[in-house]
Amino acid sequence: MFLLAALALLLAACSPRMLLVRTVADELAGSGGADEEDLGLARDAAAFHLKLSEQVLRQTPAHLALAEAVTGGFTQYAYAFIAFDADKQESKDARAAQRQRERAARMYARAHRHAMAALEAAQPGFAKALAGGTASVPADQVGLAYWGAAAWAGAISLSKDRPDTVADLPLAVSLAQLAYARDPGHGQGALAALMGTLEAARPGGSAAQAATYFDQATGLGGGRNAGVFVARAEALALPAGDRPGFEALLRRALVAADAQRDLSNQAMRERAQWLLDTIDDRF
């Protein structure tokens, strides 16, 4: 109710407009719905929330918390809904699946642009410094860098036919490394898990180092972060052809999701169950 009232005032007022925009930005930045466990309800509400948040962010580009929420929101929407839909469609309609993957890639790219714009606004010259290896990420920008790197990696993973996009993988890895160097425990293991996934994916990456990152992520999350187990299963066990390990990790994800029923875990629960249901297609 507060949000709708504030928006109504926003449309009607002139002089206090920016004050109201900032108020709405604060409200949106803190209303990501992480405690919502009904995945269907979250999906139904997400599109409106993301569009509204994006519009407000355009009016308050220096609002780092909102930029982080928008970047994270678009990244999660692309991963949990659009790209996952494509994976499930692949065996039935390959063309429809490809269209969904192209849409997911655009959504990831959109998230990445928001992250980089906010980082650039906070630190003019950030993109150039990142490319030159001289960038740094302050503590209040770790979450933004994490989501920016995750979105960047997501876009790259779905753009393998675009060499110019794939060529940016070292920069995505560097952005994640900057966040990790500042706060390796960020997100209760989420950042460490991203480091594991990127280490496993990058050319010349070390499976042993990736496993170390995943071990750290599991410890940081207290074994309650289902995404860590799903990420490890897909990044390490699947490419290695380790079916028992793959299945064991996915079952640990199901246990974690049942123990902590937040939105992220429920999204990962769906993916873990689908991967188990279709395991014969992978080995």
pLDDT in tens, 213-247: 999 999 999 999 999 999 999 999 999 999 999 99
Give the pLDDT band (50/70/90) at residue 35.
Answer: low
Length reported for the chain? 283
Token pair belonging to 166: 């794939």
Give the pLDDT band (50/70/90) at residue 18.
Answer: very low
pLDDT in tens, 166-183: 999 999 999 999 999 999
Listed in sequence order, the DSSP H helices in the chain are 2-12, 17-29, 39-59, 64-77, 84-89, 94-122, 126-132, 142-157, 163-166, 169-182, 190-201, 207-220, 226-232, 243-259, 263-277
* pLDDT value of position 103: 96
Query: Per-residue pLDDT averaged across 194-211, rounded?
Result: 96
Query: Who wins on pLDDT, 28 or 113?
Result: 113
How many angstroms separate the CA atoms of 110 and 150, rounded?
Answer: 12
Query: Per-residue pLDDT averaged across 14-42, rounded?
Result: 52
pLDDT at 5 over 60: no
One-letter amino acid for residue 244 of the chain: P
* pLDDT value of position 31: 56
pLDDT at 283 over 80: yes
> 215: alpha, beta or left, given left = phi > 0 and alpha = psi -120 to 50?
alpha
How many CA within 13 A on the CB side of residue 250? Answer: 22
Global confidence as pTM? 0.86
Token pair belonging to 221: 């999350």
- Residue ranges of the domains in the chain? 2-183, 206-278
Residues 6+ apart with CB under 8 A from 190: 146, 217, 221, 225, 227, 228
* Domain 2-183: CATH superfamily, name plus number: TRAP transporter T-component (1.25.40.920)
* pLDDT value of position 59: 87
* pLDDT value of position 60: 85
